[in-house]
Structure 1
Amino acid sequence: MAEFQASKKPTIIRPNLCKGFLFPPFLTEEWLEQASSIFKPRDTDLFVTSFPKSGTHWLSHIEYLLVCKEKLSKPLAGENATFFDIPQVDELQLVETEGSLSKGEQLKKLRIPKAMISALPDPRLFYTHFPYKFLPKNPATKYLYIYRNPKDVVVSMYNHLSNDVFHSDIGTFDEFFQFYVENNCFNHCEHIKGYFEHKDDPNFFILSYEDLHKNFKMKVDEIASFLGIELTEELYQLIAKETNFETMRENEFIKGKAFMKEGTSFFPKGKVGTWKSSLSKEQSEKIDEIFLSNIGKDFIKKYITYF
C-alpha cells in the first residue's frame, strides 16, 4: 500500500513593498529613491498617478484618446497605447547601467530604454503609482490623480495579484488581508493625503473612481478642459465606447495579457461596491479603523465614497 503523503502548502509570495508602498515586483527601494532625481519631466508631459488598483489604466485610456486623436485608427486599447505610448514611470530604465536597479535578468527586460523615452513625441504620457514625495515633478507638467474606495481597492488588488504570473501563490484572501492591514493598508492613506495637499495646484486634477463611474461624461469633459482639449460629441462617443470595461477586457492587445494567467483579464469588471460581497464585517471595520486614524472622519465624509 502506498504511503500517504500530505500535500505541501505552497509558499505564499508577498507583494513588493518599498518604503511601505505597493509596487511592481521588479521595483527596488534604490530605484524608488533615484527616480524623482533621475527622471526630469518635460513641460508638456502628462501623468496619470494613483494608488494601485484605483483606475489607473482606465483613466490612462481616456487621456490617451483625448490627446492622441491622430492615432484613432489604431487599436485604441492596444499594446502600443498602454506600454509604449503610455509607459509606467516605475518601469523606466533611466540610466545606462541597470544592474543595481533590477531583480534578475528576466526582470531587466521589463525596463523601458532611456533612448525610447527620450524619442517619444510631445506630449509624452506616463503613469505611475509613486506617492507624491517620490513623484518626478515639474510645475508645468500636468498630473491627473485618481483615487478609489479602499475597500474596493483591496478586493481588486487581491484578485489582480492572484491572477498575475508574478504572484501565483498569494495565499487566501484572509491571509492577504491580514498582511494588508498589518502593513497599514500599504500606506494608502499617506498616498491619498500626499496628493490632496496639492489639489488646488493649477497643474493637478484629482478625481475619484466612483465619480468617474457616476458622472462619466461630466468628468471626461472636465479632464479635457484641464488638458486644454476640445471634447466634441464624436470624440466623447468614441471614448465612451473604447474605455468601456467590456471593450477593454475583450481587446486582444491589452497590455499585461502576457503577465496574466490563462483565462483571466488584466481588466476586471470595474464595478463599484464589490467589497460588500467580499469583506467580512470585521474586515470592513478594520479598514474603517485604519482610515479614520490616519486620514480623519471629515476627509472620509467629504471625499471617499463607500457605497
Structure 2
Amino acid sequence: ISQVLSESSILGKLFFCFSVLMSSLSKKSAYNSPGERERHRRELSSLLDIAGVEYRFVLFRGVPVCPFPGVKRRVQTYWDSFRPRQSDVWVCAFVKSGTHWVNEIAHMLLRGSTEAPKAKEEFMLERVDCEVLQNLPSPRLMNTHLHFSQLPEQILSARKGKIIFVTRDVRDVAVSLFHHQRTRAADNLTRYDTTWQAHLDTFCKGLSQNGSWFDYIKGWHEGCLKQQPDNVLHLTYEGMLADHRGAIDSLASFLLTPEQRCRLDEAFMKRVQQLTEFEHMRQAHSGKTAIEIYRNGKTGSWRGQFSELDLFDLRARLFDPLSPEDQSLFLRYSSMTSWA
C-alpha cells in the first residue's frame, strides 16, 4: 500500500509540474489552436526587409492593420453590421501613441469609478467581433488604430459620439514600435525581430504595423478634425506627460455633462491621477500580457536610438517631400515646432 501511495504521490507531482509547464507555455502562445495559426498564416502578406528578415503583415483596404488573427473578416463585419450610438466614445490613435493610457483615464471618468478597467483590447474594433461591441451598454468606450479611410462608413456618416484623437512624436513612435514588434510571443507569425535600421526602413516605406504615420495623421485631420471639431478632443502624448492632471480635466470636460462632473469630487480626481501615472500603470500591468505595453513613458527617448544618419534618412523620406502645408501638419501632430 505504501508503495502504491508513494508512486501516486510521484505521479501527482509529475502531473502538477506538467500542468504548470503547459500553462506557462500556453500563456506565451499567440494562438488558441494550431488551426487558428494556420488561418492566420493564410491572411498574411510578407516581404523580406533590407536585413533579410521576413516581415508579415495584414492589409485591409490597401493599408496595414494590427495583425490580429481574423482581423480582415472582423473589420469587414463592422462595415456590414455595426450601428453607432450618440453616446459612443472612441479613442483613436496610431499605434504606440498612448491609447492604453487615455483609455484607462476615460474609463474611470465615464464610470465614475477608479476600479481598474478591462484590457483595452477587449473593446478594440480590430480585436473583438462586432456583436461584442454592439451589445455593450451605453456609453460604449471603444478604440481603434484604423486609418480614417478604413473606418466603417456608418460611423463616419452618422457623426455620432465623441472621438479622442491621440498623437505622439513620430520619432518616439518609431522606436516604441520597434520594441513592440520584437516582443511578441515566439510562435506569433507577426513577430518582427529585425535590426533597427531594417525596421526604420520598413517604417519609412509605410509598411510597418498601421502603415504610413503621416497618411494616418492627414486622413484623420482632413476627414474628422476639420469636419467635426466639436466632437473631437486632440491630446498629445507629450502634453499628457507635461500636464497629466490638465489632460484628465480636459477629458472630463469633453466626456461628461456639468452635472456628471459635479459628482466627481477632488478626491476622486486625485485618485484617477494617481492610478494613471505612467509608472503606476506599468507596475500594475507588468506580466499580465504577452507584450509589455508600458515600456518607457518618456518623451525624446528616440535620441538614444536614432543616429544622425537615421534622422537624416527619416527627414529625407517622410518630411522633406511634403508640401509646406503638409510639413506644418506633420510638425503639429508630432509635437515639434521645427525639424531639428
- Change over 3 Å in CA distance of 1:257–1:174 after alignment to 2: farther
CA distance in 2, matches of 1:41, 1:150: 31
Measure the CA separation in 2 of the matches of 1:301 and 1:93: 36
What is the aligned partner in structure 1 of residue 120 from structure 2? Answer: 82
- The match for 2:315 is 288
**Deviation of 1:233 (Å):** 2.0
Distance 1:29 1:292 in 2: 33
Q: CA deviation at 1:10?
A: 9.6
Mark the CA change 1:82 to 1:184 in structure 2 (over 3 Å): closer, same or farther.
Answer: closer
User: In structure 1, which of residues 255, 259, 267 is the aligned counterpart of residue 290 of structure 2?
Assistant: 259
CA–CA distance in structure 1, aligned partners of residues 162 and 207 of structure 2: 30
Aligned partners of 1:55 and 1:147 also within 8 Å:
yes
Which letter does structure 2 place at the counterpart of 1:285?
F
Secondary structure in 2 matching 1:266: coil
Match 1:250 to one of 283, 286, 299: 283
Unpaired stretches in structure 2, ≥5 consecutive residues: 1-50
**Do the aligned residues in 2 keep the contact of 1:64 with 1:81 (CA within 8 Å)?**
no
Counting matched residue pairs gives 266
Q: Is the 8 A contact 2:87 2:138 kept in 1?
A: yes
Distance 1:25 1:285, change over 3 A: farther
Name which structure has the greater RCO, CA cutoff 8 Å, separation 6+.
Answer: 1
CA distance in 2, matches of 1:159, 1:304: 20
After TM superposition, list the pairs within 5 Å mapping 1:74-113 onto structure 2. 74=115, 76=116, 80-84=118-122, 87-94=123-130
The C-alpha deviation readout for 1:37-87, integer Å capped at 9, x for no partner, is 432222111110011001010110110111112x43x3x15xx25344xx1
Indicate which of 272, 291, 304 corresponds to 1:277: 304
Q: Distance in 1 between matches of 2:105 and 2:335?
A: 22
Runs of 4+ residues deviating >6 angstroms? none
The separation in 1 between residues aligned to 2:330 and 2:191, in whole angstroms, is: 34
Structure 1 unaligned runs (5+)? 1-8, 95-113
Q: CA RMSD in A?
A: 2.6
Q: TM-score, normalised by structure 2?
A: 0.70
Q: Tell me what 2:164 maps to.
A: 144
Normalising by structure 1, report the TM-score: 0.77
Deviations 1:256-289 (A, max 9, x none): 93423xxxx2211211011111012222222223
**What does the per-residue CA deviation read over 1:210-257, in whole Å, with 9 as the maximum and x for residues that have no partner?**
1121222222211111112515322221121111121111115x6x93
